[in-house]
Amino acid sequence: MKEKRKGMLLVISGPSGAGKGTLVSRLLDKDPTFCFSVSVTTRERRENEIEDVHYHFISDEEYDKLLAEDAFIEHASVHGHRYGTLKNEVYERMERGQNVLLDIDPQGAKTVMAKEKECVSVFILPPSYHDLKVRLHTRNTENEEEIQRRLNNAKGEIQQMNKYRYLIVNDDLELAFDQLMAVVRAEKQNSVRYIPEIEE
Ligand code: ADP
Ligand code: 5GP
């Protein structure tokens, strides 16, 4: 049988500091069948971030233009900044059979889960609020006010975790990554994405 299938849309979400970015970059290193959907954002670029690799950093005017052009699959205001997933980062690649990975906040994930029923949604949970707080401080990429805002938002976000197909507690990173890879391995065999084409 020739294998012909559509790509998987893998949606990774969870509160800020849970470890989404860490797990996502490991997955991208390990599995070349995945490509990352680079989002647009109006927030400032951090020192370690690369334009068009981590985000497309754009102005409010450019963001408004994309909104007017209906360029987004989803978009949301997250912790005071605007973010959006571009259709042209996702659909063509999936049609070509490529797997596409989104790292988006729970508001955006809700929209994508409603629109794309076959997406594989994974919620990353921290072991505790205490750990979340420590991780955000250790990461050292936000000021105290930003950290507080992210911690306050985490409570509401975590209440939505049962809306996702999979839940992974990121306590031990190795274990969490193994669990994510187990989800990916199983979902690659999900029959929904296979296009029937059996030779005589
Ligand atoms: P997110 O993308 O969800 O905001 P990050 O991947 O940036 O979170 O992780 C937040 C911080 O926590 C980073 O400093 C990262 O190195 C650290 N981290 C991630 N996973 C773990 C883990 N399992 N145990 C301890 N620290 C972790
Ligand atoms: P950060 O600013 O720390 O990179 O990301 C803040 C939050 O925005 C994270 O939860 C991240 O997953 C989310 N995010 C990144 N890109 C998008 C996007 O395109 N859409 C939505 N809804 N959230 C995003």
Per-residue pLDDT of the chain (200 residues; tens, 9 = 90+): 666 789 999 999 999 999 999 999 999 999 999 999 999 999 999 888 999 999 999 999 999 999 999 999 999 999 889 999 999 999 999 999 999 999 999 999 999 999 999 999 999 999 999 999 999 999 988 899 999 999 999 999 999 999 999 999 999 999 999 999 999 999 999 999 987 777 88
In the reported structure, the alpha carbon of residue 124 is separated from the centroid of ligand 1 by a whole-number distance in angstroms of 11
Predicted confidence at residue 55, as pLDDT, reads: 97
In a domain, 12, yes or no: yes
In a domain, 72, yes or no: yes
Predicted confidence at residue 144, as pLDDT, reads: 95
Could you give the CA distance from residue 177 to residue 196 in angstroms, rounded to a whole number? 32
Predicted confidence at residue 60, as pLDDT, reads: 96
What is the atom index within ligand 1 of the atom nearest the CA of 140?
14
If one counts the domains in the chain, the total is 1
In a domain, 54, yes or no: yes
Q: Whose CA is nearest to atom 21 of ligand 2?
A: 104
Q: Whose CA is nearest to atom 11 of ligand 1?
A: 135
Q: What is the pTM of this model?
A: 0.96
In a domain, 146, yes or no: yes
Q: Whose CA is nearest to atom 22 of ligand 2?
A: 108
In a domain, 200, yes or no: no
In a domain, 155, yes or no: yes
Question: Which ligand has the nearest atom to the CA of 124?
Answer: 1
By residue range, what is the domain housing residue 128? 2-192
Predicted confidence at residue 50, as pLDDT, reads: 95
In a domain, 199, yes or no: no
CB-count burial class (<10 Å; 0-12, 13-18, 19+) for 2: exposed
Q: Which CATH number does the domain housing residue 27 bear?
A: 3.40.50.300
Distance from the first to the final alpha carbon of the chain? 9
CA angle 152–157–161, rounded 5-degree value: 150
Give the Cβ contact number of residue 145 at 10 Å: 9
In the reported structure, the alpha carbon of residue 98 is separated from the centroid of ligand 1 by a whole-number distance in angstroms of 27
In a domain, 197, yes or no: no
In the reported structure, the alpha carbon of residue 73 is separated from the centroid of ligand 1 by a whole-number distance in angstroms of 27
In the reported structure, the alpha carbon of residue 1 is separated from the centroid of ligand 2 by a whole-number distance in angstroms of 40
